[in-house]
Chains A and B, each alone.
Chain A
């Protein structure tokens, strides 16, 4: 099932990058596809992430800076980062105060690739009985 493979990719990223405490994949129209977010409400997260990605991409264009790579908030209690997954989805990563930034930047790119592949190429429906 695509959703379990998605969750596996999200968990693998969490294993590889110290300090990621939650992950979620949402559609561009703000609906949660898969969430592994700890205590954070995945529906709210998805809605906010979709809006934020759209705004961040507009900001990037407005500043003449081309394609958005990452948008991030840095707060007293940690970080939230979002990434576009192709044109149809958004990846949300929640990190605590000890988030390994270098690890995040290194691992997010291949993770986005892998997750994007899952979304573009879901398992075919089983043949009708």
Chain B
């Protein structure tokens, strides 16, 4: 895609799926259910009030103009600030693909435009390299690698009542209710998937939170939570759910190599032909 200077959209089929928007071989935007968009992050942080955002969006739509221009014209954001935000969201979107499984991709030459593309567009190979680096960082933490679909739970009694931890950890402790996954927490807090997972990995290593693999019910009592804290052991008494897909790799060293096969394939130059579905499952 990069070598051929492709302009259009790459629809990603997988878990997560999503869309990569490209202009002349560089990436302008990524949409995926695993990574909060720049809009979600902005609105959650309160940096741009909801009413102001909606007004800018509407005005841009009515004028058939760029949302970016409207946001800047209204002084809702600075130019550098917006660029940094979009670049961050882009990196997080690519990380989301790397943290999951890509089955196949298909190109669309004239897709609907994205409301907030990054200009200048980002280098695709840098995004992929950075995504893989982030996976390595997460894999370096002790225990089974934390995954976006792992449910997370605050360990009761780990923090003295009324203590303030700072660094975003208090919000995580409050939101880690055993139902939400790492990915759900990112959306609930309006933060990137990677920064959320990095914080969770640290907190898990510090014994503040426990993670449970998807498909299992969250632990419901102290004894089960100790099991769950060991990194995804079956919660006693509850059946293991059948899954359609094989379980993600359990060993830390597996994770970067699977992603290394899947993520660069998405951006294979056009001359190599269409991507084939992964044959290892």
A interface residues, Cβ below 8 angstroms from B: 11-12, 15-16, 18-19, 21, 36, 38, 76-77, 96-100, 102-103
Contacts and interface: CB of A to CB of B under 8 A. Distances in A.
A21 B35 CA distance: 15
A100 B183 CA distance: 13
Contacts of A11: 217
Ranked nearest first, the 5 interchain pairs of A and B with the lowest CB-CB distance are A100-B33, A18-B33, A98-B33, A96-B187, A97-B40
Interface of B: 15-17, 32-37, 39-40, 43, 50, 53-54, 149, 177, 179-180, 183-184, 187-188, 214-215, 217, 241, 244
B33 A19 contact: yes
B35, B180, B183, B184 — which one has the most chain A CB atoms within 10 A of its CB? B184
Given A98-B35, A98-B36, A102-B17, A76 B215 contact: no
Nearest to B241: A12
B217 A99 contact: no
Nearest to B242: A12
27 contacts: A11-B217, A12-B241, A15-B149, A15-B214, A15-B215, A18-B15, A18-B33, A18-B149, A21-B180, A21-B184, A36-B179, A38-B177, A38-B179, A76-B50, A96-B184, A96-B187, A96-B188, A97-B36, A97-B40, A98-B33, A98-B34, A98-B35, A98-B36, A98-B37, A98-B183, A100-B16, A103-B33
B241 A19 contact: no
Contacts of B17: 100, 102-103
A64 B54 CA distance: 33
